[in-house]
Structure 1
Amino acid sequence: MAVDLGMGVDTRITASLHPQSVASLDEYDSETEGELQQVVQAFTSVYEGIGKVLDVRDVAAGNTAWNEDMRTIKVQEMADRAFAKFAPQLDKVYHNMRAGAELIEKQLSAPMEARAAHTISTQIRDHVKGLAERQGTSTADKRPGQSALGFVQAAIQKGDELTVSAVLGAPAYLSGLTDEMQAVLRRLWNEKANPTASKRLRAMRAAMDLIQDRAPLIHKEMERVVGKSPAYAKMLRDKHNAAEKALGGI
């Protein structure tokens, strides 16, 4: 759900780069705020950095001692300094989100041990295997919700750990399942058993998507603020530096 950060708005900057865009993610709440706070801080650095470039542009515009080319050079220099400061921070946050997501992925895909007594676990697996074999040999015997997968999925929804662990805590073939089917069921159980971790994973993925989506806007916004392309600004700076060097030799 969206959370109001209560931050001011600089109307000179596109709203897409405002830190509020992070707090407006559906996955942002009290349970994920800790993980996403660093993303908010990174977007804040971007937003404030662009604001400083705009401040320099406004000052340069009022300096009658500079022509248009010199104003472009000075504003681009500030843009380069701002970008060099916040770009590594945004990149680091993205990698932090990816590392955190990978860790939770492993947790949600972790194997489990059978909780029931050996005899009961064996009987449960035999029952599930019977459902799988019956479904595979006779279409007439197929009943809604009574397939092997349907049976285990229902147990997961009910929180029946004995049944679930008997099937998922042993080799898949003992229950007539494939390894892929068992992996899907294990993931469903782990998500059911640990909803907070699942929410954190969704939040991290949403933050990564947001960063990837908004990062290209930074370059466009910087170029809009400077008024010229970085390549053109560099050409002006190189000419200026060459002239300064030539004058220094006189």
Structure 2
Amino acid sequence: MSITDDVKVDTRISPALHPGVVEQIDGYGDDTKDVLAATMTAFSTAYEGIRSVWNAREKVEQDTSKTADARLLQLDGFAQKKLDAISRTFDSTNNTIKKQINFLEGELAQPIEQKATGGVAAEIRAFAKALPQDKLHKFMADSIANGDVTTVGAVLGGPAYLSGLTPDFQKTYLKQWNTQHRPDVAKRLHVLQQAQAM
């Protein structure tokens, strides 16, 4: 039973705050819902908090023993407490998501282990360095796409300048390689980035 099974749709509240929107994130599933649990809880907290303010408003408006201003002040105090709780939950969740994203990005930036021996690796890097930039990028893209661990390890396993790459391109290719070989990490990163945007 998911958290959204317990949260009924309330037309007084924006559908964008319903916790069910988290389940609409591209990549949401059994393998990623654990990293989205805090996001789901944050949306549920917001939705239920706003619902309680609407419910309180209905009750306060029925209390004829107080003036309209007194009723408004009473409702405002209650709403502020709910808003503070919602804001704290969203801030905490956002900080958690940022930490998770940084960790997963670090995982995808991990250096690659060289499979080629020293001499072969040096020849591969020299070959790559001699290529014009457009051909070097095609060579790297093809090597990554084909899963050529020897070539990719040789080029990305050493300093960027030895193969003619800039450090930024080396990082980009390393991330592509790791994303291809660690799809579970890439998928979790993808869903967390969407959750952060929400």
TM-score for both structures, normalised by structure 2: 0.92
| Residue equivalent to 2:4 | 5
Q: SS state of the match for residue 35, structure 1?
A: coil
Mapped to 1, the partners of 2:62 and 2:95 lie a distance apart of 41
Residue 114 (1) aligns with residue 114 (2) = yes
Residue 206 (1) aligns with residue 194 (2) = yes
Structure 1 residue ranges, 4+ long, deviating more than 6 angstroms after superposition: none
| Residue equivalent to 1:176 | 164
| Residue equivalent to 2:141 | 153
What is the number of equivalent residue pairs in this alignment? 196
Q: Which of structures 1 and 2 has the bigger CA Rg?
A: 1
Q: SS state of the match for residue 31, structure 2?
A: coil
For structure 2, which runs of at least 5 residues remain unmatched after alignment? none
Q: Which amino acid aligns with 2:152?
A: V
Identity of paired residues, percent?
Answer: 31
| Residue equivalent to 1:226 | none
Mapped to 2, the partners of 1:81 and 1:129 lie a distance apart of 62
Q: What are the residue-to-residue correspondences of 1:47-66 with 2, within 5 Å?
A: 47-66=47-66
Please say if residues 3 and 40 of structure 2, whose CA atoms lie closer than 8 Å, have aligned partners that are also in contact: no
After TM superposition, give the deviation of residue 90 of structure 1 in Å. Answer: 1.2
Q: SS state of the match for residue 110, structure 1?
A: coil
| Residue equivalent to 1:127 | 127
Q: Which amino acid aligns with 1:79?
A: A
Mapped to 1, the partners of 2:189 and 2:61 lie a distance apart of 47
Q: SS state of the match for residue 183, structure 1?
A: helix
After TM superposition, give the deviation of residue 179 of structure 1 in Å. Answer: 1.9
Q: Which amino acid aligns with 1:156?
A: I
TM-score for both structures, normalised by structure 1: 0.73
For structure 1, which runs of at least 5 residues remain unmatched after alignment? 137-145, 211-250
After TM superposition, give the deviation of residue 205 of structure 1 in Å. Answer: 1.2
Q: CA RMSD in A?
A: 1.8
Mapped to 2, the partners of 1:29 and 1:203 lie a distance apart of 10
After TM superposition, give the deviation of residue 199 of structure 1 in Å. Answer: 1.3
After TM superposition, give the deviation of residue 167 of structure 1 in Å. Answer: 0.5
